[in-house]
Amino acid sequence: MTTELQSGTWVNSKPPAPAQKPPRSEVGVLGWLRANLFSSVANSILSLLTLLFVYYVVSGLAGWLLTAYWEPVWANRKIFAVGPYPIDQVWQPAVVLLVVSLLFGVSAGRWGSIMRNLAIGLGALLGVLALVPLGMQAQLLMAGALALIVVGYLAGLKMPLRSSWLVWAWVLSLPFTFIMLKGGVEMPAIGLVWSFAPFVDSALFGGLMVTMLLAVVGIAMSFPLGVLLALGRRSSLPVIKGFCVGYIELIRGVPLITLLFMGATMLPLFLPDNWGNPSALIRVMVAITLFSAAYLAENVRGGLQAIPKGQYEAADAVGLSGFDKLRFIILPQALTKVIPAIVGQFIGLFKDTSLASLVGLLELVGIGKAVIQQPEWLGTPGGVAREVYLFIAVVFFIFSFGMSTASRQLEKQLNVDKR
Amino acid sequence: MAGHALQEDIIVCRDVNKWYGDFHALKNVSLAVKRQEVVVIIGPSGSGKSTFIRTINRLEEHQSGDITVDGIPLTRDVRNIEAIRMETGMVFQQFNLFPHLTVLENITLAPIHVRKRKKQEAQAHAMELLERVQIPEQAQKYPGQLSGGQQQRVAIARALAMKPQIMLFDEPTSALDPEMIREVLEVMEGLALEGMTMVVVTHEMGFARGVADRIVFMDSGEIVEIGTPDTFYSNPQHDRTKLFLQQILQ
């Protein structure tokens, strides 16, 4: 059916045109194959070569996976979890896990939405681990943590809890974690020494526990610092602006690994003499925080620049003070705009914690390297590096994927229902 | 609305000068506005009318001359600036509502945090204001879900929520589709009838003629002529005024 080309005025006098089926060759599996993979000779050759390549990769990988030797990972599951932490004191990190699970549960009940999804993700992970025959105590711990998420969730739903208390609980959970893992407080410089269990040297912290510790501390500390630096960079006071620009550019011009090495050698120079040399764990935390803050500041600055001048003027015109203007008008909008960038930055930070293995920290990769060297596996043909590193990669992937899923949700939630 | 002769001056601007770099944007602008007076400022684009109205609440800083608002001298002192801003509400051409807050939150934010009102009290007052601008049903929506005319009425309600003595309007209808201009002008007329002191930069000649007590004509950074609506349109004095009126009224 053709339509006459019209010039001048014209009225369509025919009845409404019925819908027709699309051309035959585009439909169905065969149609799709012909249109996309085998539309010409060259195209067909490329398709066949690609298929061959995919076949070799997949069959090679599958063949190895079927014969892979997982004993080194399995036998060292405690080491991968907490490193060389004293076995009779493992209840201390266990308490931390339980408390954090409870906090996740309560937050999920109280705040819902993204916290609920995070709690569900964590709960699912704990549930799976509880079913794996890790050992009686470990399985009970996982099941207990899962139960606390559920209990916390119900409590958060029912109890009229103030949001600010919950925020404080999260803030306090960080020092609580340190005291718990350490077995007390050991700060002789300010005359504070108290313990409820034998002190555990932080050199004995390891595994996923340290990876998590580095990531959480890095994120929690670098976020406020990065926001301050971003605001400082836009300050009208030349001293503040100069300092922030200098700091950001200096840090961004240096690889993280050099900062880690410098932290090991130079941090003591900036501290009072009687503080002694902080532990490797603290030095790495400081280095990661300082590094991440500089990048975060640039991300936040991008958000700040996207706020129209009119928003500042409107906030001024209704008489808001500078601090209230930032708190209620500018930062909420600026940060929402850069959530994907910020979360991307945090995922990067999470993975960068693996560099800490190069300065001797026994986080996941450090543990992996140690496991590979264990004498038990020396006779294994081909070594055990492949299995160990694949396992570590999967662990990193699970948490990174969780973070990026959460970020997409957060973004949707903050933007969609407003426009 | 004429005849405020006995009223005191609430805004006094004396010899106000402003430069953007080398560009002389305001040249010795002097104007006094009486309590309850409605002053409309007109003029070609780039004549400094927006700049002038924005110096009154210090969105723009002037470099010389004196401005006094409700007895408070406008100086660099932040306390004075904040005091003046609490007394002056401002409505912008681009509305400038806070897009991440609901209509109700937009209106109650400043009363709660600047005037330190209780939340319930501020919300009740906000609902009254929304009734007055005839969109109480939009209270829980976000600005992006409203039409331009509705947004501008919310912006007026937001400014009124601070219970200001003076309202400044910076081309409040210029960004609106033609069919929405009326609803905003009606709200402004209502305000004028209630005795609000208003300084309005606008191109709406109907509003100027019907509501203004005085019309100020500005051109290239200075006040050229000030008149009452009847004499200003029927008998403009200055050649530049005549030319401008010819261009817009033909």
Residue of chain B with shortest Cα separation from A313: B59
Q: Calculate helix-pair angle for A280-305, A238-252, nearest 10 degrees.
A: 120
Q: Which of A29-43, A383-397, B143-157 has the lowest mean pLDDT?
A: A29-43
pLDDT of A325 > 90? The answer is: yes
- Chain B within 8 Å of A419 (Cβ-Cβ)? yes
Confidence check: pLDDT of A417 > 60: no
The pLDDT assigned to A104 comes to 94
Distance from CA of B103 to the nearest CA of A (A): 11
DSSP A261-287: HHHHHHHHHHS-GGG-PPPHHHHHHHH
pLDDT of residue A298 exceeding 50: yes
In chain A, residues with a C-beta closer than 8 Å to the C-beta of B89 are: 317-318
Please report residues of B whose CB lies closer than 8 A to that of A303.
none
Find residue A192's DSSP bridge partners. Answer: A187
Q: How confident is the model at residue B2, as a pLDDT?
A: 46
ipTM computed for the complex: 0.92
Average pLDDT over residues B88-115: 95
| Average pLDDT rounded to a whole number, residues B135-147 | 93
Average pLDDT over residues A158-168: 86
Instruction: Tell me whether A320 touches chain B (CB under 8 Å).
Output: yes
The answer on pLDDT for A410 being more than 60 is yes
A313 CB within 8 Å of a chain B CB: yes
CA distance A158 to chain B (A): 24
**How many interchain CB pairs under 8 A, A with B?**
70
Residue of B78, B93, B109, B166 for testing the chain A interface, max A β-carbons within 10 Å: B109
Handedness of CA A100, A102, A107, A108 (dihedral sign): positive
* Whole-angstrom distance, CA of residue B247 vs CA of residue B227: 19
Task: Tell me whether residues B114 and A314 touch, CB distance under 8 A.
Answer: no
At residue A281, what is the residue type?
Answer: L
* Contact (CB, 8 A) for B103 and B146: yes
Tokens for B132?
Answer: 């007055």
Q: What is the per-residue pLDDT for B1?
A: 46
Tokens 């015109």 label which residue? A317
B85 close to A318: Cβ distance less than 8 angstroms: yes
* Contact in structure between A93 and A179 (CB atoms under 8 Å): no
Which site among A318, A331, A411 would you substitute to test the B interface, given the most B Cβ atoms closer than 10 Å to its Cβ? A318
Where do we find the tokens 């007026």? Answer: B156
Q: Which residues of B touch A329 (CB under 8 A)?
A: 98
- Is some CB atom of chain B closer than 8 A to the CB atom of A89? no
Give the model confidence (pLDDT) of B193-237 as tens digits.
999 999 999 989 899 999 999 999 999 999 999 999 988 988 888
Interface of A with B in 240-299 (CB under 8 A): none
Interface contact A317-B114, CB threshold 8 A: no
Query: Which residues on B lie below 8 Å from A311 (Cβ)?
Result: 96, 98
Q: Does A133 touch chain B (CB under 8 A)?
A: no
- Residue A270 pLDDT > 80: no
Over range A292-307, report the average pLDDT.
94
Please judge whether B114 and A328 are an interchain contact, meaning their C-beta atoms are less than 8 angstroms apart.
no
Buried b (16+ CB within 10 A) or exposed e, B189-220: eebbeeebbbbbbbebbebbeebbbbbbbbbe
Interface check A306 vs B, CB under 8 A: no
- Could you tell me the two tokens for B23? 């560009």
Find the range with the poorest average confidence among A351-360, A410-419, B67-76, B133-142: A410-419
pLDDT level of residue A26 (50, 70, 90 thresholds): low
Q: Do B89 and A321 lie within an 8 Å CB cutoff?
A: no
Chain centroid, CA A263 distance in Å = 23
| Contact check, Cβ <8 Å, B82/A319 | yes
Give the closest-approach CA distance of B177 to chain A in angstroms. 20
Per the DSSP assignment, residues forming a β-bridge with B26 are B18
pLDDT tens figures, A34-77:
877 888 888 889 999 999 999 999 998 898 888 888 888 888 88
Determine the Cα–Cα distance for residues A144 and A254; give it in Å rounded to an integer: 44
3-state secondary structure of A288: helix
Packing angle of the helix pair A207-233, A238-252 (nearest 10 deg): 140
